Structure 1
Amino acid sequence: HFFLTFLLMDLLKHSAPSRVINVSSLAHHMGKIHFEDLNSEKSYHPVKAYVQSKLANILFTRELATRVE
C-alpha cells in the first residue's frame, strides 16, 4: 500500500480533489506490530498476522493523512 501510494502521490496532488481509500477492520484493536518479525517468518499464526496487517493499515492511513494535510 505504501509504495503504490507513494508512486501515485504526485498524480493525486495534481488531480485534486482526489482520495486514497484504505480498507481495514475492527480487528485492528486486537493487533500488535511485531517489529522483530514483521513478515511472520519466525512464527506464523493466521489470526495474529491478520490483525497485525489491519493495524498496519490503520497506522499507514493515519500517517498518510498527516503528510497530506
Structure 2
Amino acid sequence: MNEDRIKGQWKQLQGKLKSRWGKLTDDDLKTTEGDAEYLVGKLQERYGIARDEALKQLKDFDADAR
C-alpha cells in the first residue's frame, strides 16, 4: 500500500480498515496515523499472521479500495 496514499486519505480509510479488519481497535487506528509498517504489525498481532501475509492483505485491500 502506498504510504503517501495512506497518510493523505487516512480519515477516509479508517472506517474501511475497521470494516475489513474488525479486530483492529480505534486506538490501533489512531496510533497508526497512516504508518503502513505499524499497520502491518498490528495486523500480525491481532490476527496471528505472518508479515508477508499481512502485507499481501493490505495490498489487496488497497487495490479494492481504489
TM-score normalised per structure 1: 0.32
Structure whose residues are more often helix by fraction: 2
TM-score normalised per structure 2: 0.33
Structure possessing the higher radius of gyration over alpha carbons:
1
